[in-house]
Amino acid sequence: MKNKPIKSLNKIITYILLTIFAIISLLPLYWVFSTSLQLSSYQSQDMERPVSYVNANPPKMYPMGIPLYFEHWGEAREAAKAGDIELETYHRDMMSYIIEDTFSSFVNLFTKQDVGKWFFNSIYIAVIVTFGILLFDSMAGYVLAKKRFPGRNLIFWVIIATMMIPGQVTLVPLFFMVGKLELMNTHWALILPDLAMVFGVFLMRQFMYSIPDELLEAAKMDGASEWKTYWTVVLPLAKPGLAALGIFTFMSVWNSFLWPIIVLNNEALYTLPVGLKTLQDANLASFKLLMSGAAITAIPMIIVFILFQRHFVKGLTIGGVKE
């Protein structure tokens, strides 16, 4: 009985602390979106020079478009009462100004820069790699988990061992290879090395261990070929693992950066992260523009995360510590 108030106090403190931590953790993302939608500048008749909302001191903590509308609403109403202007005109002019200015950097990015192309490149490369990885890694993971054949352990351990090697080691040789194969400045230079990532083989093997052997035996009894067994029995059972692997592959390809900046020099071929770097190099101080580019790059992953949250949790916990 005596413990109750202490317990609820504890709970309240926990909530407060967690909320503070969560705000700190989400503040940067909030700031990306807030800055990207900030009005660039505004000048009213009584101002000598336009004020910048993006570069403001103190900073404007939220996009000023709508507040600006209401700030001048009072004056507009007075003026309308006096018969100087019509409220409808005020509304129309103000709204079109606010909307145009709020989204100006997005329009700029899609019309004057290659962002549309970069977006498309990022999407299609990530999709191709994801499906390739799902197919090849599930095939490899399946036989490594369920078949006994000479060399099985050797192959598995070689794969695990290379997971330890940091990617930077192969940077120069891969660069040479891509040059020799004449793939420099093509998307194959990104796709092929990405398809060779081994993490998925490990994940799939761990996951497919749990598929009961009896089901595979039964399929064999029914006269199913190896391929048919894999396609109609194994794959459907591996769905949760495939979902997790697919999401992580998509995410890592979408966000990959070091290798793409080495092999892509042609602006039309850039992926979004590479494009963002050149955008920043060319516009070091236009933070509204830069944050809009960042927002465009972040939104797809945020959507993927919100839609497939539980698979993220699953993916991180399969094959991780338990085993």
- Restricting to residues 24-43, name those near other proteins by CB under 8 A: 24-29, 31-32, 35
Q: How far is the CB of 155 from other proteins (least distance, A)?
A: 7
CB 238 within 8 A of CB 207: yes
The answer to whether 159 and 201 have CB atoms below 8 angstroms apart is yes
**Residue 287 contacts other proteins per CB under 8 A:** yes
Comparing CB distances to other proteins, the nearer of 22 and 218 is 22
User: Does 277 interact with other proteins (rule: CB under 8 A)?
Assistant: yes
H-state helical runs in the chain: 3-36, 65-71, 73-81, 87-102, 104-111, 115-146, 152-163, 171-180, 188-195, 199-208, 213-221, 226-228, 235-237, 239-255, 258-263, 272-282, 287-307, 309-317
76 alpha carbon, distance to own chain's centre: 43
Nearer to other proteins among residue 83 and residue 166 (C-beta):
166
Residue ranges in 46-85 that form contacts with other proteins under rule CB under 8 A: 54-59
- Of residues 184-213, those binding other proteins (CB under 8 A): 192-193, 195-196, 198, 201
Up-side HSE of residue 149: CA atoms within 13 Å toward CB? 9
Q: Which is nearer to other proteins, 7 or 81 (CB)?
A: 7
Please select the residue that binds other proteins; options are 49, 112, 148, 180, rule is CB under 8 A: 148
Task: Choose, by CB under 8 A, the member of 85, 94, 128, 155 that binds other proteins.
Answer: 155
CA angle in degrees (0–180, nearest 5) for 316-318-322? 110
Handedness of CA 166, 168, 169, 170 (dihedral sign): positive
Q: Is 216 in the site for other proteins (CB under 8 A)?
A: no
CA distances from 59 to 64, 69, 197 (A): 11, 19, 43
Smallest gap, in angstroms, from Cβ of residue 119 to other proteins? 13
Q: Based on CB atoms, which residue is closest to other proteins, 233 or 294?
A: 294
**Do 211 and 230 meet the contact criterion of CB atoms below 8 Å apart?**
no
Q: What is the DSSP string of 118-159?
A: HHHHHHHHHHHHHHHHHHHHHHHHHHHHH---TTHHHHHHHH
Interface characters, 103-142, with other proteins (x: CB under 8 A): --------------------------------xxx-xx-x
- The pairing of beta strand 41-42 with beta strand 51-52: antiparallel
Is the Cβ of residue 76 or residue 291 nearer to other proteins in the bound state?
Answer: 291
**Near other proteins by CB under 8 A: residue from 184, 262, 278, 283:** 262
Tokens standing for residue 248: 């992580």
**Closer Cβ to other proteins, 124 or 305, answer by number:** 305
Residues 167-186, interacting with other proteins (CB under 8 A)? 167-177
Establish if 154 lies at the interface with other proteins (CB under 8 A).
Answer: no
Q: Which stretch binds other proteins (CB under 8 A): 14-22, 73-81, 87-95, 213-221?
A: 14-22
* By CB under 8 A, residue 255 contacts other proteins: yes
CA distances, 312 to each of 136, 240, 241 (Å): 21, 10, 10
Cβ proximity to other proteins: between 76 and 260 the closer is 260
Residue nearer to other proteins on the CB measure, 258 or 268: 258
